[in-house]
Homo-oligomer: A and B are copies of this chain.
Amino acid sequence: MTQKIGVIGIGHAKFGKRKDATIRELAHEAVKPALEDAGITTTDIDAAVIGVAGDEFAAQGSSGALIHDYIGMKNKPMFRVEAACATGSAGIRAAWSLIKAGLAETVLVVGAETMTQVGSPKATELMAKAGDTRWEYPFGITFPGFYALMATAHMHEYGTTREQLSMVSVKNHKYGVLNPYAHLQREVSLEEAVKSLTICHPLNLYDCCLISDGAAAVILANEEKAKKLCDTPVWITGLGSASDTMMISERQTLTSLTATRLAAEKAYRMARVSPDDIDVAVVHDCFTIAEIMAYEDLGFCKKGEGGKFIEEGQSYIGGERPVNMDGGLKAKGHPLGATGVSMTVEITRQLRGEANKRQVSGAEIGLSHNVGETGQYCFVHIYAR
């Protein structure tokens, strides 16, 4: 059981309002460069795991089968995974397990989602249906509402400010400009971010991530194959996963995600590292408050000091713990099924030293943090080069 599992190929479709491409075409746009990156073809891949979060976005049931066939994986084993906004990371976990279990030597993980075609109001409604449809959804709460509750509680308990929320947005937009695959590539000033349209108090437009179409792909291999096929494999050395209550009203706290804390604990333990060892991280900033809570729950700073952490610039390149150099969900976009896979792509780029202007110099250990819904599930992966 000592074999390591490594990332040997990465690919990323352009995130955005992709009226030009269907879900299978977006998947292909990510898979093609991943295969080229690994220097192999689908013939060399034993199985696939496909991550798509919702049937209704693409008006396609069993979209895994559709994508699997289109990308040239016919006849190979496959299943689809789903864990809401954390679907892609669940896919990485499932694929890692298939290899470690000896059922495959190389597995392709593809995450994809097309969300813009149904329009933003419908997309927001479909996401709200991933809340409890008996006890939450019928009363009208949607995701900005859930996270607004968390933001309000955090502001109340820890004095987190309106400006601090917006600072997360400013940072992620700044780095998003440097990511050619990001949906929204433009900087935002603090003033603009603070004053933008209220979506659900206290969250405004620039606190909310984008609704995007997109896809990302990662090829994993066992140690032997990885070393043979790849000069710079990035090893996934820790995997942590945890869950929490379906309903936000049953949580013990609104200012921390228990699923994040438990998943991080497991991942750190498995990888035998501590938060201080993380050189670069991507965290789940579906809303700015989520990134602030992630700093705290992942142990990057003390509880309640997430606002101060961004204000001091600690999550910038050059700070203590650089976070979301790819622009985050905020600027890069958040096509649900693609997000977790895209996170693995970014950390791999960073640990290979291929992140160009957004490179965290000398990064050796990375972390990805992907939350489903309002913390119903969380997946934390740790990477080492």
- Which residues of A come within 8 Å of B, CB atoms? 1, 22, 47, 53-56, 58-62, 64-66, 68-70, 73-84, 90, 93-94, 96-103, 126-127, 129-130, 132-134, 239, 241-247, 258-259, 262-263, 372-373, 376-377
Task: Check A62–B83 contact: CB distance below 8 A.
Answer: yes
CA distance A69 to B377 in the complex (A): 11
**A64 — which chain B residues lie within 8 A by C-beta?**
82-83
Picked from B75, B93, B373, the residue with its CB within 8 Å of the CB of A262 is B75
Using A62-B83, A98-B97 as known contacts, say yes or no to A70 and B246 having CB atoms under 8 A apart.
Answer: yes
Beyond known contacts A22-B134, A77-B377, A93-B103: 20 more, CB 8 A cutoff: A60-B130, A60-B133, A62-B84, A62-B130, A62-B373, A62-B376, A65-B377, A66-B246, A68-B246, A76-B242, A77-B241, A77-B243, A78-B241, A79-B81, A79-B83, A80-B81, A80-B82, A81-B82, A94-B94, A97-B101
Using A81-B80, A97-B103, A377-B79 as known contacts, say yes or no to A68 and B132 having CB atoms under 8 A apart.
Answer: no
Using A1-B102, A102-B100, A130-B61 as known contacts, say yes or no to A258 and B75 having CB atoms under 8 A apart.
Answer: yes
**A133 — which chain B residues lie within 8 A by C-beta?**
58-61
Copy number in the complex reads 2
CA distance A97 to B46 in the complex (A): 15
CA distance A338 to B73 in the complex (A): 26
Task: Check B377–A75 contact: CB distance below 8 A.
Answer: no
Quote the shortest CB–CB distance from A249 to chain B (angstroms): 12
Task: Check B83–A242 contact: CB distance below 8 A.
Answer: no
Task: Check A243–B61 contact: CB distance below 8 A.
Answer: no
Task: Check B66–A84 contact: CB distance below 8 A.
Answer: no
Task: Check B55–A372 contact: CB distance below 8 A.
Answer: no
**A129 — which chain B residues lie within 8 A by C-beta?**
55, 59-61
Residue contacts A-B, CB under 8 angstroms, 9 given: A54-B61, A61-B133, A68-B376, A69-B247, A76-B243, A78-B83, A79-B82, A79-B241, A103-B239
CA distance A124 to B266 in the complex (A): 43
**A134 — which chain B residues lie within 8 A by C-beta?**
22
CA distance A243 to B68 in the complex (A): 9
**A74 — which chain B residues lie within 8 A by C-beta?**
243-245
**A75 — which chain B residues lie within 8 A by C-beta?**
242-244, 258-259, 262
CA distance A76 to B81 in the complex (A): 17
CA distance A22 to B246 in the complex (A): 15
Quote the shortest CB–CB distance from A107 to chain B (angstroms): 10
**A245 — which chain B residues lie within 8 A by C-beta?**
69, 74
Picked from B73, B100, B263, the residue with its CB within 8 Å of the CB of A243 is B73
